[in-house]
Structure 1
Amino acid sequence: MTETSFGREHGLEVITLGTAAGPAIRSGAPGIATAIVVDGAHYLVDFGLGVTRQANAAGLLGKDLKAAFITHLHSDHVGELPAYLLWNWGLPVQGFTADVPVYGPGPETSAMVASILAAYDYDIRIRITDEGRPDLRRIVRAVDIPLPPGAAAAGPEHAPAMEPFEVYSDEHVRVCAILVEHPPVFPAFAFRFDTRYGSVVISGDTAECANVARLARGADLLVHEAVNLAFFADRDFGPEFLNHQQISHTTPSGVGRIAAAAQVGHVVLSHLAGVATDEEWTAGVAQEFDGRITVAQPGQRFVPGRVPAPR
């Protein structure tokens, strides 16, 4: 692979730009955001707090962004989308100047993007005339991901058994989605990126879910969320909040069961809800999965099939 000062010009690389759950600040880690880089082009999944600076620090320029993906519309996954778009747009910042699709749950993704562009209309209009930038309102394109026939929430179940379905493809990647269990949110997605170099799955926020195992079958890298339920149980949180953690997120041992069922090559824990040591996070997964396990750090780089690169 050809190396650059920031990463790889050729090949596949995954960068855990932000690793924290939220919306809460319980550590110094930025909010959840992940980049998949293929032959110098990149794709972003989720826009948690700090993603704009994290992407810049990783050397990811807006001009190389091919598409963005949103797992679901909780604020800790989309809260910094406005800043990212406004800081990575136009030639003065080596930003995007052409089509930027933003894929996410419908119809709320379209409504959210339209509202963002409307809210910053004054700034956008000024920069078009004063700085010669292209019209951001014609560049950013929301795409509401359509559900396959029959893929509807049924009673308490938000992720009926289904097969992955394609949502995007280009010369670098094929991206498939599947519904995951993150009540009361519907729809909420996990994404799989298949490339000529390997495959990567991003779980999004989910309880332990068979659909994630289906999506991740044989994947080289599974980036999966995790919750430390003991951290919340030992503190003065209300019953509604504690119930949400229990029914909407995955314990480390649950991640291990999913990884083992899918026979993935490497598990990376991210979107860490609650506080634990790396050893505690890893031990839970290792109870059920005997493959490689890493607790992601912000800005860490992974080449599927290889030991993660230094930060």
Structure 2
Amino acid sequence: MDRIVDISTDGLHLAVYRGFLTVSKNGGDEVGRIALDDIGALIVHAHGTTWSNHVFVKMSERGVPVVLCAANHAPVAVVWPLEGHHAQGARLRAQIDASKPLQKQVWRKIVSAKVRMQGHVLAANGLEAGAFDMLARKVRSGDPDNIEAQAARRYWKALLGPDFYRDREAEGLNVLLNYGYTVLRAIVARAICASGLHPTIGVFHSNRANAFALADDLMEPYRPLVDQLVRNLAAAGKTDLSPETKRALTSITTFDLDTDIGVSPLSVQIGRFVHSVAVGFETGEARLDLPVPPSALHLAALGKQPVEQEEA
């Protein structure tokens, strides 16, 4: 089972020993270990963390992203493997050569799916969501009307209150959102590598300073699930980032989603979606395996299921 390993205690040392990632106090005793093959992502928040080069080598060999975070728990760097798929050269060439019309169609479907998911989240909480289905249908190729931003302005005020403002540098619920999105980005990043795509080459995000452009594009339809999870935590009075709320946020990876072939954990469905994007680059057709919005009852359970997470 893929586990999220979270390093949030200052002054730890990471190393590899006989197929395990070991965590020790710097110059001191071992405090924990986990089998390398069980790790889905390694997220590092703590100051003074040190590691052996072997950690990065073994993570990369397994396609496991190592995510380095700033004090606000937003990611600032990701260590990527150079090879992640047997046909990576052909996939990468197809990604680079993808036509603008194809990229715009992919982005249209991503934005439409995100807006539709936002509407389902609002409706599940008994909030007005009628406009979101209409907005999702209005998205055109490349989203020239910026429907995504129009929906966001309505969405945040409705979901988290009129005084809420989404700012990754802010405190409060924004910190929980940052952490949840970091987990989501790590899972998408791993799927991108496994599909033979390059994370820097996005279909919409194109900032030259953004090394995660494609991950940022492809995680969009899933963001509202993190938002719902944060709302569930806030409703339970859990508004600070703590070991408990981290475990809840990490549980997003095992959240079950309905698909056309049955129920799959989020991490598996993301893999299928990213694979469909890769195939689309090769075929020139934007036939995407997008997530199906969960029921209200299912959304209410977000953050309450058990999760495999290791924290140090």
- Please state which band the TM-score falls in when normalised by the shorter chain: under 0.3
Task: Give the TM-score normalised by structure 2.
Answer: 0.27
Higher relative contact order structure (alpha carbons within 8 Å, sequence separation ≥ 6): 2
The structure whose residues are more often helix, as a share, is: 2
